[in-house]
Amino acid sequence: MISDVFITGSAAYLPLEPVPNERIESILGMVGGKPSRARRIVLRNNGIKTRHYALDPLTREPVMTHARLTAEAIRALGDVGPVDCLATGTSHADQLLPGHGVMVHGELGWPQLEVVSLAGICLSGTAALKYAAMSVASRSARRAIATGSELVSPVMRASHFEAESEHLAREMEARPEIAFDKEFLRWMLSDGAGALLLEPTPRPGQVSLRVHWIELFSNAHRLPACMYAGAEKESDGGLRGWVRFPVTDWASRSIFSLKQDVRLLNEHVAPVTLTDPIHALQARHGLRPEDVDWFLPHISSLYFAPILERTLADIGFPIPTSRWFTNLVDKGNTGSASPYIMLDELMRSGRIRPGQKLLLYVPESGRFSSGFVFLEAV
């Protein structure tokens, strides 16, 4: 239980204009100069209609750094007063080192403060939120900001796959499932950032959200890696990291591209990231489905919505879809930023009423982790 911590402000930043499905390949480019065979299949299943890319649509060059993208979401919070702690979460910083957080701090130009960078994939933003909430709860910070952000479009451009295009073509013939794992995420992920302000008291005259608890679960002891970058999966399911490859392989085998084992994802994501954790939350916090007025699931694809609904019902925790909120269709899958962008839109919609309770569910397919955030409007 976290006491006396409130989300008192939210903001989101989505770069440039929304990109409809028919324009994706013109912006990201065609690998080997050929239209993708997987694009239509992936888009038909994920249900996303528009998303945002921080790429110039003509030159395909990034229009901003990831640090600036995140800073823009923080600036959108407005004049929040002095901040003692900044916690950032992302899967793709601009560089390997330094951490993303200090680069965002430098972009903001704020005075000295505590800064932490949480790494991972989709759950990194939720981990950042937990760090910020604990900082306020322990009174080591009077005011904290947490962020989740992703700038993935630069690594999804066709130019990053050109050196491997011939190799990919051979793979498609011999083992089409391997090539699909590399291409799948090109049509799934997009750019965006969100920021939340946390304080020890609610702000008068507006709805604030009390943070009751934030719980994170890892299932790495049960399953191998499902989503990864900077590595290739070996026959035993382990990962061979980029430092173990010759430099010449980094491009020819697109070692740094994002990859996802789609079969492993489909089989395990709902039961592993949801079933046992929900039972644990019931035991720890007495959580009941009737306590949830708003359910905000981070789902990468609408394909998983009925699977998620069925899993909740099977484990005795049914939540009618009338109480669900997602903006995946028009905001896209922005990874660690998705929970922030969802929560910001719902808070600004005026639909949250005092006394209502919100449950955020954030699965991560890296090694099948998940996070849950329980909030109450005051």
Distance (Å, whole) CA 116 – CA 130: 12
Q: Which fold has domain 6-202?
A: Peroxisomal Thiolase; Chain A, domain 1 (3.40.47)
Query: CA torsion sign, 107 to 110 to 112 to 117?
Result: negative
Evaluate whether 254 touches 163 at the Cβ level (below 8 Å).
yes
**Does the 214-377 domain belong in CATH 3.20.20.80?**
no
Q: What secondary structure letter does DSSP report for 209?
A: E
Residue 268 and residue 3: Cα distance in Å, rounded? Answer: 34
Q: How confident is the model at residue 254 (pLDDT cuts 50, 70, 90)?
A: confident
Helices (H) and strands (E) in the chain, counts: 14, 15
| Surface-to-core class of residue 183, CB atoms within 10 Å of its CB (0-12 exposed, 13-18 middle, 19+ buried) | buried
End-to-end CA distance of the chain: 17
Distance CA 349, CA 54 (A): 25
pLDDT at 22 over 90: yes
147: which 2 tokens? 């962020």
pLDDT of residue 230: 95
Asked if residues 151 and 54 have their Cβ atoms less than 8 Å apart, the reply is: yes
pLDDT averaged over every residue in the chain: 93
- Looking at per-residue confidence, does 73 or 3 come out higher? 73
pLDDT of residue 1: 54
| Helices 176-184 + 165-174 axis angle, to 10 | 130
What residue ranges do the domains of the chain occupy?
Answer: 6-202, 214-377
pLDDT digits (tens, 9 = 90+) for 137-175: 999 999 999 999 999 999 999 888 776 655 555 554 554
42-76 pLDDT, tens digit each: 999 999 999 999 999 999 999 999 999 999 999 99
Phi-psi region of 139 (alpha: psi -120 to 50; beta: other; left: phi over 0): left
Q: What mean pLDDT do residues 310-328 have?
A: 97
The predicted pLDDT at position 169 comes to: 54
Q: Are 94 and 154 in contact (CB under 8 A)?
A: no
Residue 221's pLDDT is 96
